[in-house]
Structure 1
Amino acid sequence: QKYNNNKKGDKLAFMKALGAKGLVKKAAMQKDWATLFKNGLEVLKLNPWDVGTLTTLAAACEELELHEAQLVYLRLALDADPKDPNINRICGRALGRRKLYDQAIACWHRVEQALPGDEEAARAIASLTVEKAIEQGKYEGEGATTKPSKVGEAGELTPEQRLLREIRRHPNDTAKYVELADLYLREDQFAKAEDILKRALEISEGNPEIRERWEDAHLRLLRQKVAEAERRFEETGRPEDQRAAEQLKKELFEKELEFCKNRVERFPNNLAYKFDLAVRYQLVGRYKEAIAEYQQAQADPKRKGLCMLALGQCFQAIKQYSLAMRHYEMAVQEIPDRDAVNKKKALYQAGKLALALKDLDGADRYFSTLAGMDFSYKDVSTLLDKIAQLRKNQEQVAEVEPAAEVGEAPVEPPEA
């Protein structure tokens, strides 16, 4: 009332409070709580909406475990600047710890509105939603009367409600967590699935199967965020939205590589995991590491042809052309006709490399086979015309420099 709720306080508050604010900052660093509170209150007398001072006082209350006082200061800071993402983040964390779920979730939603794609906000909302259901007994708890569900007949619980009730009754039964996560995944609620699997992983003390499920859910959540960020950029065209999408794609790829490496370490005899890791190495140009993994993964009969194709690409990228050609030839033989996408890719790359190495007969053979499958594939018709012209004029062949024509292999690995 003193300042008519002007959100600024005294007109000269900045000047008058300068000394006290300096003492607040110094006291916070030294953990001199008495000095901090004394001078902090002096600042608030001049400007009750000084967000920096309010959050500093709230942090001090947290250190002293004065939780109710902490919430008072945080709510005052939120009243001063209700849309500020940093204040809402701090408030969301504090309110969540106090199990004030609705208020905490509201704060995190404001963070999302200010910072679209914020990972902590999405994770917190999912986690708090599950906690609210489990710990506060939003759904039927022990001794509670079953209420009619919106889904199903009166008195019947939905699958989600039933599983949440079971988890509340048996918090160490990881099978129920996994079942609930599968339900969330089927409904594309990846944040909830990831959170519930993270809980199961902690309870199980790092069970490898649950860890793998959690990793998959985490990657699906990241892919969902990438898709949302790309849609946002398409709609707005803003550079900051493009940067956000690129950052999320980078994070996704790094996580994919990290999880693939972890799985190969945990399951060294699993050839599928070695193939996945090799693909990630190839995509970032770590060809020698990719070659080592592909050479082991080729022992899997189902992926032998794909490994041959990828090895050809990797050897071509490091300018080992004879090895590349040999692997392309084996890829053409090993990849079945029913896998048309990779079969055509192997024929095309074998033909291109043969042409660059002046093997006109080989190039003609590969391109002709490819044309028989799909005459419109890339520039195959043009390349067949080029081979015919080169045969008419052999002098032109001598002018072709293999290294210049070969170039680097496509980064795009085979499609598993």
Structure 2
Amino acid sequence: MADDNQKAAKCFQAGNKAMEGNNWDMAVQMFSQCVKLVPHNLGYRQLLRNCTKKKYGDNKKGAGGLTMTKLMSIRSKVKKAKQKELWEEADKLAEQGLLLNPWDAQLNVDVAEAAKALDRGEIARFGYAEAVKAAQKDKAIHLALAEHLENRGEYTEARKIWERIKVIDPKDIEVSRKLSALDAMQATRAGNFDEAESSKDVKRNKGADKSQSIEQKSTDLETSLRHEIRRNPEQVEHYLKLGAHLRTAKKFQDSYDILKQALDVSAGDPGVREQLEDAELLLLKHNVDLAKENADKSEDPEARKQVAALSKDLRTRRIEVLSAREERHPQNLGIKMELAKLVMQLQEWSRAIPLLQKASQDPRLKTKALVLLGKCFMYDNKLPLAKGQFERAVPDLNHDTDPDTYKESHYLLARVCEETGDSEKAVHHYGEVLVVDYDYKDARERLEKLQGG
């Protein structure tokens, strides 16, 4: 996995250079490799699709009639793979077809359906969104996207799709019911009506009038910035200012959308790309929070599964973003530290250890990096190495400033000493824990056992 990410990062760099030089054939080739190596990376897919469209001069039809036979063959293979539930194969085949025609609605749907089956929620969202753009009057595709957004807890975006369905089929009575249901959910969340049971809550709602002037100022600033963009569409700073303002206003989807435009205007500027990535991560985090809120109010076990799926998507994307930044900014030890924490959640000890070893060279990060190194070596069953890291860390730990790390580090060091037969040190470190927290885990029982009861 680490090798694939490294190879993809090199292809990404080559693709980025090709894109800057308008060498769309090379860019498509490089980003296609990125997608093959790291198929769960949303950014690679987006870049590949955008560059493929540029390759064909945004003609909305791709390579044209000469490739029709080849596309028909690919569609047939995709269909067979889906019937056999060979989702990875279906995804790869659909991507091959999209290299010939990135506007093919069905192939984009195929990518989305494969992604859903493979638990790649963000890729599925992207596939359906691309399909909707390509088939703006196809009700079935719109319904699929709306359902996917609702399942992800993205109710505002789901409502926008239902509004489009209403235009496509004005006679569909289900649309009005669905819009009313989504409105009720949004109103409940916005006003906390279901929680306003006391007079204190009522007074708080009355105080909402005072916030209207603040909201009006925010709206005025947004309107002004959008006006500046219309007047000077080539000046990227206006997009960045609007993106930052929308983020502050907690309009995370709007912030992400405007920064996507900023990236296009800036011709792929790395700094703008990082701001877009930050906006994307905020949007994903916001979706997780909404899903948790929904799960807390629901008894449906599927709601909890949805939280887990979205959280997994967020972690995967954070790892992708930080991996790329670690390549671009090798001197930034803070990035290495954050990336190490994430890959530790996946129990990828061999990947986390060198990152933490470099992070420990920063005096500000040294102690916590040593603690995390101790954990990695411990969980990787390299106890002598774990012991050395914990022993380097504990002298600099302070219970008053970070009690949790203090207790956990002394406890884990005691456990390692106990496992390696150093009972005297184990007793000492269990004692350090019990002095500040007499009921910490099983430290007291272990200490008494070492002391012979």
With normalisation by structure 1, the TM-score equals 0.58
Quote the residue 2:236 is aligned against. Answer: 174
Distance 1:90 1:259, change over 3 A: closer
**SS of the counterpart of 1:323?**
helix
Identity, in percent, stands at: 28
Deviation string 1:212-270 (CA, Å, 9 cap, x unpaired) is 22212211211121222233333333343333222212211110110110000111111
Quote the residue 1:346 is aligned against. Answer: 409
Distance 1:123 1:204, change over 3 A: farther
The separation in 2 between residues aligned to 1:291 and 1:154, in whole angstroms, is 50
Q: Which amino acid is 1:93 matched to? A: K
Distance 1:372 1:164, change over 3 A: same
The separation in 2 between residues aligned to 1:251 and 1:90, in whole angstroms, is 19
After TM superposition, the structure 1 = structure 2 runs for residues 281-292 of structure 1, keeping only pairs within 5 Å, are 281-292=343-354
Quote the residue 2:335 is aligned against. Answer: 273
Asked if 2 retains the 8 angstrom alpha-carbon contact of 1:123 and 1:191, the reply is no
1:111 matched to 2:146? The reply is: yes
Q: Which amino acid is 1:231 matched to? A: E
Shift, 1:190, TM fit: 1.2
After TM superposition, the structure 1 = structure 2 runs for residues 238-277 of structure 1, keeping only pairs within 5 Å, are 238-277=300-339
After TM superposition, the structure 1 = structure 2 runs for residues 313-324 of structure 1, keeping only pairs within 5 Å, are 313-324=375-386
Quote the residue 1:361 is aligned against. Answer: 424
Q: Which amino acid is 1:364 matched to? A: V
Q: Which amino acid is 2:242 matched to? A: L
Moved more, 284-293 or 200-209: 200-209
Equivalent of residue 298 in structure 1, options 360, 368, 371: 360
The separation in 1 between residues aligned to 2:218 and 2:337, in whole angstroms, is 46
**SS of the counterpart of 1:294?**
helix
Quote the residue 2:284 is aligned against. Answer: 222
- Indicate the structure (1 or 2) with the bigger Cα radius of gyration: 1
The separation in 2 between residues aligned to 1:113 and 1:294, in whole angstroms, is 38
**SS of the counterpart of 2:452?**
helix
After TM superposition, the structure 1 = structure 2 runs for residues 372-391 of structure 1, keeping only pairs within 5 Å, are 372-389=435-452
Q: Which amino acid is 1:192 matched to? A: D
After TM superposition, the structure 1 = structure 2 runs for residues 33-112 of structure 1, keeping only pairs within 5 Å, are 93=133, 111=146
Q: Which amino acid is 1:276 matched to? A: E
The separation in 1 between residues aligned to 2:214 and 2:420, in whole angstroms, is 69
Asked if 2 retains the 8 angstrom alpha-carbon contact of 1:351 and 1:366, the reply is yes
The separation in 1 between residues aligned to 2:372 and 2:156, in whole angstroms, is 39
The separation in 2 between residues aligned to 1:154 and 1:326, in whole angstroms, is 58
With normalisation by structure 2, the TM-score equals 0.54
Q: How big is the alpha-carbon RMSD for the aligned residues of Structure 1 and Structure 2?
A: 4.0
Deviation string 1:260-299 (CA, Å, 9 cap, x unpaired) is 1000011111111111121122111111111111111111
Higher helix share: 2
Distance 1:175 1:361, change over 3 A: same
Shift, 1:108, TM fit: 8.4
Equivalent of residue 232 in structure 1, options 294, 303, 309: 294
The separation in 2 between residues aligned to 1:249 and 1:220, in whole angstroms, is 12
Shift, 1:369, TM fit: 1.7
Moved more, 374-383 or 313-322: 374-383
The separation in 1 between residues aligned to 2:304 and 2:427, in whole angstroms, is 44
Q: Which amino acid is 1:257 matched to? A: I
Q: Which amino acid is 1:116 matched to? A: N
Quote the residue 1:122 is aligned against. Answer: 157
Asked if 2 retains the 8 angstrom alpha-carbon contact of 1:308 and 1:328, the reply is yes
Asked if 1 retains the 8 angstrom alpha-carbon contact of 2:153 and 2:290, the reply is no
Quote the residue 1:77 is aligned against. Answer: none
The separation in 2 between residues aligned to 1:303 and 1:152, in whole angstroms, is 39
Deviation string 1:295-321 (CA, Å, 9 cap, x unpaired) is 111111111011111111111122111
1:371 matched to 2:406? The reply is: no
Unaligned runs of 5+ in 1: 1-28, 32-62, 66-84, 99-103, 129-149, 391-416
Number of equivalenced pairs? 281
Q: Which amino acid is 2:315 matched to? A: F
The separation in 2 between residues aligned to 1:162 and 1:332, in whole angstroms, is 54
Deviation string 1:99-147 (CA, Å, 9 cap, x unpaired) is xxxxx9xx78992698332779839959x9xxxxxxxxxxxxxxxxxxx
Deviation string 1:324-354 (CA, Å, 9 cap, x unpaired) is 1011111112334422222222111111221
Q: Which amino acid is 2:225 matched to? A: L
The separation in 2 between residues aligned to 1:175 and 1:245, in whole angstroms, is 35
Distance 1:169 1:298, change over 3 A: same
Distance 1:274 1:153, change over 3 A: closer
